[in-house]
Amino acid sequence: MTDAALYFTGPETVEVRETAVGPPAAGELLVETRTSAISAGTELLVYRDQTPADFPADETLDALDGDLSYPLQYGYAASGVVREVGADVDPEWVGRSVFAFVPHRTRFRATPDSVVALPPGTTPAAGSLLPSVETATNIVLDAAPRLGERVVVFGAGVIGLCVTRLLAAFPLESLVVVDPIERRRALAAEFGADRTTTPAELGAADAAGSGLADEDSAVDGADLAIELSGQPSALDDAIGVVGYDARIVVGSWYGTKREPIDLGGRFHRDRIDIVSSQVSTISPELRGRWDRDRRMDAALDRLDRIPADELITHRIPFERAPEAYELLDSEPDATVQVILEYS
């Protein structure tokens, strides 16, 4: 069998190249990929050359060694089926559906402890969404929403929608989602948002000095804002909607993108906290009770609550992967989650 892998070879350039996988070693599995999900956040930064070239790809994932300079393999959302096992591996692994944090490729070798066995009945497409659900789980843990709080989520991409779905289960006073794209706002409402609005509407309300309490806008004096838009300028909007002693959790990674942020106004006087949320590690405040295994178990328990078919707007054959990245780059209004499918 001829195997292939996806390579980022330059700005806005990806190639599918032949590669050799080989049989599994004694302690390994050989997995045939069925689907892999493309991250419209991190992977588009790599695709657009908006990442620091000497920045490690991900020091917590063995499959992503090296840095983010071209050429490189990247991706971390592969769902597949175990086809062979090495001599020291329980043969009952054969035929099991698994997830792995590996780049886009037709087959891969992995140890049993580096894959996640998917729940019975999980489709390959839903399985490839597991890292998005885990990231959303991590963000909600870091945000620590409380009873009766007013929460605003900026960005209704895949992560924002997964976060919205999880937050909708909390007894909040209100949950508002902000996104410029109508299709994504409609999905946010389906996923449990009480109201949706656009960045332009927020700006208009602020300029008019009317605040955000109007029924057709959003929430003024929010307790918590979660920034997931991927746009640094959204931090200004987040500062504008929260109240005194509020929290802003930043789950976006901006890469090399920069925007001037107004920290000279009410940010200091209102004692607003801005904290980062990053899935590679657990918050120090939680490490006494939480580790990555517990967080993954929590994500697996919630995987079936995320309607994969509503999130996935495009299914593209792996051999046509360049088209998938061109689509995500040029038509953000038309896409939410794009997955690659493997024959």
Query: What are the pLDDT digits (tens) for 270-295?
Result: 999 999 999 999 999 999 999 999 99
Got the DSSP string for 26-50? TT-EEEEEEEEEPPTTHHHHHHTT-
- How far is it, in rounded angstroms, from Cα 27 to Cα 37? 27
Asked whether 78 and 93 are in contact (CB, 8 A), the reply is no
Q: Please enumerate in sequence order all residues whose Cβ is within 8 A of that of 8, keeping only pairs 6 or more positions apart, or say none.
A: 14, 46, 47, 70, 71, 72, 73, 74
Choice among 35-39, 171-175, 215-219, 321-325 with the minimum mean pLDDT: 215-219
Contacts for 269 with CB less than 8 Å, ≥ 6 apart? none
Residue-level pLDDT at 1: 61
Q: Judge contact between 78 and 118, C-beta under 8 A.
A: no
Residues 104 and 34: their CA atoms lie apart, in Å, by 10
Token pair 């209004």 in the structure block, residue = 333
Q: How confident is the model at residue 60 (pLDDT cuts 50, 70, 90)?
A: low
State the pLDDT confidence band at 182, using cuts at 50, 70 and 90: very high
How much is the pLDDT for 65? 63
Quick check: 306 pLDDT over 50? Answer: yes
**pLDDT given for residue 316 in this prediction:** 98
* Tens-digit pLDDT profile for residues 242-271: 999 999 999 998 888 888 888 888 898 899
- State residue 215's pLDDT score: 47
Average of per-residue pLDDT values in the chain: 91
Q: What is the pTM of this model?
A: 0.91
Q: Average pLDDT in the 53-63 region?
A: 58
Q: Which residue has the higher pLDDT, 126 or 212?
A: 126
Beta strands in 160-233 (DSSP E): 174-178, 195-197, 222-227
Closest Cα partner for 32 from 128, 126, 98?
A: 98
> In 229-294, at which residue ranges do the beta strands (DSSP E only) sit?
242-250, 273-276
DSSP letter assigned to residue 318: G
Q: Per-residue pLDDT for 218 more than 50?
A: no
Residue 64 pLDDT more than 60? Answer: no
